[in-house]
């Protein structure tokens, strides 16, 4: 158990809809990272927040957004969903501000768009 | 720009035999390198990391990796495979890229362990 929690574990929704994925980092970690893992694209870094502020952006679509709240939990919002958004979404946390340190991954949320 | 190549998408070994998972990277500057493991339906777990200290890095579960700058490689090894090692393994490189730290994941190597 990494100490990172993600909810929900599974999510099934229809195209065009909007969903919110939630992540709670390990106690003491200030950085939260979001990743998308799909069969065709592999593991893709989406975005990082550190202590409430955006720190780094990866291959995140404009339809996706994220935020980190004062209690350090984070939410990833996915809107106007398409079939191709079906994937595993992982959250990771680390104590450091920059990405060079090890990260601790949550169990993931499996999103299925029908 | 940095990149990381995992040379084998699948590796199959027999239980008790050595494991070698190959990783090559390209990096303009001294990188940090990691190996993560992902068991089915689980998140990724850090196996080991290299951050410019000793070139031979020991990790959890008997795994180790050697950083070879001249070969730009960071291969993962284990002397004797166990059934529980069956999983997907990711090589990851982190370095400064246009003033910001960037993290790049390899495409993964699926390790099968035969009884």
Q: Which of A44, A102, A107 sits opposite B43 (nearest CB)?
A: A107
A109: CB partners within 8 A, 6+ apart:
A6, A7, A8, A9, A10, A11, A21, A88, A89
Q: Which of A47-61, A70-84, B21-35 has the lowest mean pLDDT?
A: B21-35
pLDDT higher than threshold 80 for residue B39:
yes
A94: CB partners within 8 A, 6+ apart:
A29, A31, A33, A101, A102, A103, A104
* Number of other residues whose CB lies within 10 A of the CB of residue A54: 12
From chain B residues 42-71, the ones with a CB under 8 A of any chain A CB are 42-46, 49, 51
Mean pLDDT score across all residues of chain A: 93
pLDDT higher than threshold 80 for residue B27:
no
Mean pLDDT of A71-79: 97
On whether the CB atoms of residues B72 and B24 are closer than 8 A, the answer is yes
CB contact under 8 A, B103 and A99: yes
CB contact under 8 A, A4 and B43: yes
């Amino acid at each position: 158990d990494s100490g990172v929690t993600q909810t929900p574990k599974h999510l099934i929704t229809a195209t065009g809809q909007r969903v919110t994925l939630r992540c709670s980092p390990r106690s003491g970690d200030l950085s939260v990272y979001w990743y998308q893992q799909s069969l065709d694209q592999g593991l893709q870094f989406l975005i990082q927040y550190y202590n409430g502020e955006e720190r780094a952006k990866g291959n995140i679509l404009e339809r996706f957004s994220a935020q980190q709240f004062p209690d350090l939990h984070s939410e990833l919002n996915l809107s106007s969903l398409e079939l191709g958004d079906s994937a595993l979404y992982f959250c990771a946390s680390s104590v450091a501000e920059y990405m060079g340190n090890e990260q601790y991954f949550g169990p993931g949320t499996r999103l299925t768009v029908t | 720009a940095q990149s990381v190549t995992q040379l084998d998408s699948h590796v199959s070994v027999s239980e008790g035999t050595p494991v070698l998972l190959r990783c090559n990277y390209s990096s303009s500057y001294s990188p940090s390198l990691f190996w993560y493991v992902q068991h089915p339906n689980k998140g990724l777990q850090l196996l080991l990391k290299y951050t410019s200290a000793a070139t031979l890095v020991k990790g959890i579960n008997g795994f180790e990796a050697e950083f070879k700058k001249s070969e730009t490689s960071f291969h993962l090894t284990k002397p004797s495979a166990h059934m529980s090692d069956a999983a997907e393994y990711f090589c990851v490189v982190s370095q400064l890229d246009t003033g910001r730290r960037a993290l790049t994941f390899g495409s993964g190597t699926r390790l099968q362990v035969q009884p």
